[in-house]
């Protein structure tokens, strides 16, 4: 992963790690933060039968959960020091069943705006080391400054 | 909830209940099936801190998980006896923070096609009995017949 | 059409009409403004072979053009006097071929935020007076104040 | 542009050109077919004041029209000889105002399924030779075989 963006906040990596650690859903689902670059994030989750749909594939919503966090933190990494991030919307296309030993989720910023950022993220399954694209997301993230109850 | 659709499969309610019961993610997340009508589904989930994002709101991906299942089973209720359902895509707009005592998710079919169905679903928070719209989803669901590994 | 919203700008109707009149695309495509209420817009377009796709249906992009304007002006009707509106994103589900004598497009606001508004819009075909839902859109609109080159 | 896909129909280029020529909207809007590869399409449109929104930018719906055709023909290029293509849904994120001397639209297939294909497309403005990304679309396209009124 290489990135064309420069982070405004030199402490972006620490800021992302701290906020990610506060997302209880990540810990509960076993999603881990693998890489952080300005405008780029990589997450990983092992297969977990507890989060499957009726055919034993990882539920599309769980794939969305990881992709949304990947998008959000990619955008957050480029935001000013005092900003928080909220998801405005996202859309996911499911390309193949989410079956595999583990899953990789990459998010990157397409446009970093003052108020609104747009990100792309992709989900891959890994089976015995073979990687396959299983889902693609585009999302819009909002820079929130000074709103009560919405901190980093 | 009233519905303009007629189910092809008279056993649609039983079929939906059986498939829903096989979605391990629903059980794990504490999402329950409250109502089933032809082309309409209602789900419920209590607030659970284990699935929150960094501000203590329910993670948008968890809201998506419930809305995707609501869409999918709304579509599935109208499908022929032998069909299975898979999500092709969905898009969610997040309208307000997902905070509340519990959450209601309603899904309904907008168009029931032979191969492809389109559904709308909505998420509401409940706080001391007051209901608030917090998210809206549109999704495309596929009727799958005779594909290996994809049963009901 | 009835609306639950109250316009901040008492002159909202005039404001919408003026801005709509400046959308050259509306005039060129023959799209007219039929109704304006706070947070609700209705547009109309006669069938025009010049804007069809390969099967003689109205091109999905032309349907999008009308739905985007319906969304945008529904949001704009609720914005403060000095604001301009820009589309951030939209998603359209195409439910039936766009064939008919004419087309009706309705847009309504789902959430009117300070910076970001979310709208739903629907396209209907009309054939000898019979109305059929052919497409559904959800869109996010931005309130823009004081940006150079972006006025009403 | 390079492509990893192999077209099933050796005559894919001719098939795409013929169908594109039947899209009256393309001719009316001045959108031209610049490149065809298996699973990849490039279109171009000069700026045209007749299709602008209220600030003089190309209307987002017109950008959608070109991106939808780019997606559709990218998918169509990989379909069997007898198939027709229809758009199921698409979502567009608008990244920058559509101002420029002309616009380039590229579409490529992300997943070519038997019934459903998923494509990405991008719109660029060109100003004195400088290219800028202004919009991004993901779309789902359907392979249609033997449906009355829906030929190539």
Q: What pLDDT digit, counting tens, does each position of B27-84 carry?
A: 999 999 999 999 999 999 999 999 999 999 999 999 999 999 999 999 999 999 999 9
Does residue C18 sit at the A interface (CB-CB below 8 Å)?
Answer: no
CB contact under 8 A, D90 and C92: yes
CA-CA distance, C5 to C118, in Å (whole number)? 13
Q: Which of D40, D34, C67 is nearest to C59 (CA)?
A: C67
Architecture of the domain made up of A12-144: Roll (3.10)
If you measure CA to CA, which chain B residue comes closest to D89?
A: B140
Probe site for chain A from B24, B49, B54 (most A CB atoms < 10 A): B54
DSSP H or E run through A126: strand A116-127
Chains that touch C (3 or more CB pairs under 8 A): A, B, D
**Residue A1 confidence class, pLDDT cut points 50, 70, 90:** very low
Of A93, A95, A118, the CB nearest to D93: A118
If you measure CA to CA, which chain D residue comes closest to A109?
A: D95
Handedness of CA C97, C22, C86, D92 (dihedral sign): positive
Single pTM value for the model: 0.96
Q: Which residues of chain D does C20 touch, with a Cβ-Cβ cutoff of 8 Å?
A: 54
pLDDT over 90 (residue B148): no
CB contact under 8 A, A91 and D91: yes
**Residue D3 confidence class, pLDDT cut points 50, 70, 90:** low
pLDDT over 50 (residue B104): yes
CA-CA distance, D79 to D128, in Å (whole number)? 37
Interface of B with C in 38-67 (CB under 8 A): none
If you measure CA to CA, which chain B residue comes closest to D144?
A: B115
CB pairs under 8 A between A and C: 18
| CB-CB neighbours of D150 under 10 Å | 17
If you measure CA to CA, which chain B residue comes closest to A147?
A: B55
Q: Which residues of chain A does C88 touch, with a Cβ-Cβ cutoff of 8 Å?
A: 88, 116, 140
Where on the phi/psi map is residue D128: left (φ > 0), alpha (ψ -120 to 50), or beta?
left
Average pLDDT for chain B: 95
Q: Please tell me the predicted confidence (pLDDT) of residue A151.
A: 81
If you measure CA to CA, which chain B residue comes closest to D139?
A: B89
Q: Is A128 exposed, middle or buried (0-12, 13-18, 19+ CB in 10 A)?
A: exposed
* Cβ D65 vs Cβ D90: under 8 Å: no
ipTM of predicted complex: 0.95
Q: Please tell me the predicted confidence (pLDDT) of residue B152.
A: 79
Probe site for chain D from B87, B88, B119, B137 (most D CB atoms < 10 A): B88
C-alpha distances in Å from residue D62, one per residue of D26, D86, D95: 10, 18, 15
* Cβ A16 vs Cβ A76: under 8 Å: yes
Does residue B4 sit at the C interface (CB-CB below 8 Å)?
Answer: no
Q: Could you report the per-residue pLDDT of D47-95, keeping only the tens digit for each?
A: 999 999 999 999 999 999 999 999 999 999 999 999 999 999 999 999 9
DSSP H or E run through D92: strand D84-94
**Look-up of token digits 């694209």:** A133
Residue C85 sits at the vertex; the CA angle it makes with C82 and C91, to the nearest 5 degrees, is: 160
Of C89, C115, C118, the CB nearest to A115: C115
Q: Which residues of chain D does A133 touch, with a Cβ-Cβ cutoff of 8 Å?
A: 110-111
Span B78-94, average pLDDT = 97
**Residue B3 confidence class, pLDDT cut points 50, 70, 90:** low
pLDDT over 50 (residue A64): yes
Q: Could you read off the pLDDT tens digit of each residue along chain C, which spans 152 residues?
A: 455 899 999 999 999 999 999 999 999 999 999 999 999 999 999 999 999 999 999 999 999 999 999 999 999 999 999 999 999 999 999 999 999 999 999 999 999 999 999 999 999 999 998 999 999 999 999 999 988 888 87
Burial D55-73 (b: 16+ CB within 10 A, else e): bebbbbbbbbbbbbbbbbb
CB contact under 8 A, A138 and D138: yes
Q: Please tell me the predicted confidence (pLDDT) of residue A36.
A: 98
């Amino acid at each position: 992963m290489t990135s064309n963006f420069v982070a405004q906040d030199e402490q972006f990596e620490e800021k992302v790690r701290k906020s990610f650690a506060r997302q209880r859903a990540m810990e509960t689902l076993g999603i881990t933060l693998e890489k952080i670059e300005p405008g780029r994030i990589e997450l990983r989750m092992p297969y977990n039968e507890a989060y499957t749909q009726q055919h034993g594939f990882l539920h599309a919503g769980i794939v969305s959960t990881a992709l949304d966090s990947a998008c959000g933190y990619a955008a957050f990494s480029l935001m000013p020091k005092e900003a928080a991030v909220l998801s405005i919307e996202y859309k996911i296309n499911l390309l193949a069943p989410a079956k595999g030993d583990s899953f990789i989720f990459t998010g990157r910023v397409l446009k970093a705006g003052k108020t609104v950022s747009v990100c792309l993220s992709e989900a891959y399954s890994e089976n015995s080391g073979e990687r396959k694209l299983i889902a693609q997301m585009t999302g819009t993230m909002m820079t929130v400054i000074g709103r009560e109850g919405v901190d980093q």
